Amino acid sequence: MKIYLNGKLVKKQDAKISVFDHGLLYGDGVFEGIRSYGCLVFKLKEHIDRLYCSAQAICLKMPITKEAMTKAIITTLKANKLSDAYIRVVVTRGEGDLGLDPRKCKSPSIFIIADKIVLYPKEFYQKGLSIVTVPTVRNIPEALNPQIKSLNYLNNILAKIEAINFNVEEALMLNKDGLVAECTGDNVFMLKNHTLITPPTAMGVLAGITRQSVLDLSPKLGLKTEEQLITRYDLFNADEVFLTGTAAEIIPVVSIDRRIIGRGKPGKFTLNLIKEFRKVTKIQGARYAL
Ligand code: PMP
């Protein structure tokens, strides 16, 4: 496996970062999770734009241009001969001292890992997922905005642990006002009377790229879309619920906090959206040749 590290492709065992890197010491950095399908990097421009917005929000000056970043990602995919991959792009504040001061970190570190995609078990898609609401609330935007895809994922990890403790794979996270925010690595959607509803990003939600794809696809399926506040009550009474994310794509939810959602199996519209989404993954993005 070849890893892109600060402008060079190095072997996995040589891809090393200093223990003084603030990405490691403080979670000071940003990242993206991207996918390629049959030699097409899905929505690459959107992912790169979000990465640069995350960096801007934490005052991290990106050391390379967006064009160079695009090239670096494609180069990494080619070097690993991957047509279908999961790509992790990480930009850390760089090496500093033991203090917080980011001014001591002279140059950000960039690394890119491209690996085979590990798919969720088929069963999740066929039978649907059971999830629970967890006590850990999503970070409040005024403290650490969930729109920043930062290396500080402890909020999500704590929620994930709570879900695992309840024997389910995903956690539903509420914001500080008790409204539905998102899951630990996915956005949440509900369908009610042919309207697809998802919480607005201002609620403390990542502006998911899969989320936007679903919003864009919905009119094609005869669905209206709304970005609206959602409560647990709304989800319990939804016709269908599903989650969206780069890794999971679109995954049906059939039970929340032991309440059966809809008919307790993946809904018709969710299944149609999955089909339409699969088509989009074959056309929208940056192509490369191996
Ligand atoms: N919310 C969180 C907290 C996430 O980590 C992710 C995955 N990046 C998402 C939502 C889904 O975003 P996307 O569709 O861009 O992968």
Task: Report the distance separating Cα 38 and Cα 42, nearest Å.
Answer: 10
Cβ count near 116 (within 10 Å): 11
Q: Are residues 171 and 82 in the same domain?
A: no
State the CATH number of the domain containing residue 9. Answer: 3.30.470.10
Site to probe by mutation for ligand 1, drawn from 31, 186, 244, 250 as the one with most ligand atoms within 8 Å of Cβ, is 186
Instruction: Identify each DSSP E strand in 6-108 by its residue range.
Output: 8-11, 29-36, 40-42, 85-92
Give the per-residue pLDDT at 93. Answer: 98
Q: Are residues 222 and 107 in the same domain?
A: no
Q: Are residues 6 and 78 in the same domain?
A: yes
| SS3 at position 256 | strand
What's the total number of domains in the chain?
2
What average pLDDT does the segment 149-170 reach? 97
Q: Are residues 8 and 129 in the same domain?
A: no
222 pLDDT higher than 90: yes
Give the per-residue pLDDT at 43. Answer: 98
Residue type, 59: C
Q: Are residues 264 and 227 in the same domain?
A: yes
Active site residues: 149
**Which protein residues are within 6 Å of ligand 1, measured from CB?**
33, 156, 182, 185-187, 206, 208-211, 244-246
Partners of residue 173 on adjacent β-strands:
182
Give the per-residue pLDDT at 140. Answer: 97
Q: Are residues 108 and 139 in the same domain?
A: no
Give the per-residue pLDDT at 119. Answer: 81
Kind plus residue range of the DSSP H or E element containing 191: strand 187-192
Q: Give the domain extent around 59.
A: 2-115
Give the per-residue pLDDT at 118. Answer: 85
Q: What is the 104 CA–ligand 1 centroid distance (Å)?
A: 31
Q: Which of residues 92, 115, 138 is at a domain's end?
A: 115
Task: Report the distance separating Cα 254 and Cα 261, nearest Å.
Answer: 5
260 pLDDT higher than 90: yes
Given a contact cutoff of 8 angstroms between Cβ atoms, the answer to whether 171 and 129 are in contact is no
